[in-house]
Amino acid sequence: MRRQEEHRQQGIFVAEGEKVVRRLLESGFPVISVLLPEKWLQEFEPLLRKRPEQIDVFVAEKELLETLTGFSMYQGLLAVGRIPNQPSLSEILTRGERPYLLAAVDGLSSAENLGALVRNCVGFGVHALVIGETSSSPFLRRAVRSSMGTVFQLTIVESINLAGSLRDLSSRGIHCVAAHPHANGHTVAEANLGSDCCIVFGSEGHGISQLVLAECQEAAAIPMKPTVDSLNVGSAAAVFLYEANRQRGRM
């Protein structure tokens, strides 16, 4: 539970909580093991039997699990899954319906905020989320939990060079739009979000780096009172993605 760097090296992640574990078992993600109190075993048995792979199932009461994890667990359910192979941007663009709606994140270190962003991406029909090299992994335990398991429904690309990935998208006709609080009065409602686009979000503290910002063709802000600098990235993403859907006639 506390060795998340080792998890990344092994290509695995931890799912926590009844709804998240359930969504993992319902997904196409490979599942390695499940740990749960006996009262949940009967309810989860049909899902476990439907799985194509052999899953190790461990049964223990919540009090014992908390001595192993070192923190309080609300429901006492855990599962270990395997991160699937990630598609390339080229593969994503050949199989998605147009107009493409992509999102990207730069410098976001909070796993909880990244999980909230993932949840918004799924809710508003984003085709894929590109994670920059300076951001947290969406497969950290807290990110998976904060996404409420929607991370299993989203195509994710973890880029080793976000600026380069955006340049590649631009060369393919994808309009890159920076969600930037200092957009010289240009608002989200005025941004071109109705055609193929990728909306780029940054951290609350530092925003989008200059290197990544330079690869965006447009920057737009959410109109707010001057006493508020910015919104939480999850809230900002909801506004931008709602507007993109509105411009596409989906809202």
Splitting the chain (251 residues) into consecutive groups of 10 residues, what average pLDDT does each group show?
A: 72 93 97 92 94 94 72 75 93 89 96 97 97 95 95 96 97 96 88 97 88 96 85 94 95 67
What confidence score (pLDDT) does residue 70 get?
A: 63
In what order do the strands lie in the sheet containing 175-179? 156-158, 128-131, 101-106, 197-202, 175-179, 218-220
What confidence score (pLDDT) does residue 60 get?
A: 84
Domains along the chain? Answer: 4-82 (3.30.1330.30), 89-247 (3.40.1280.10)
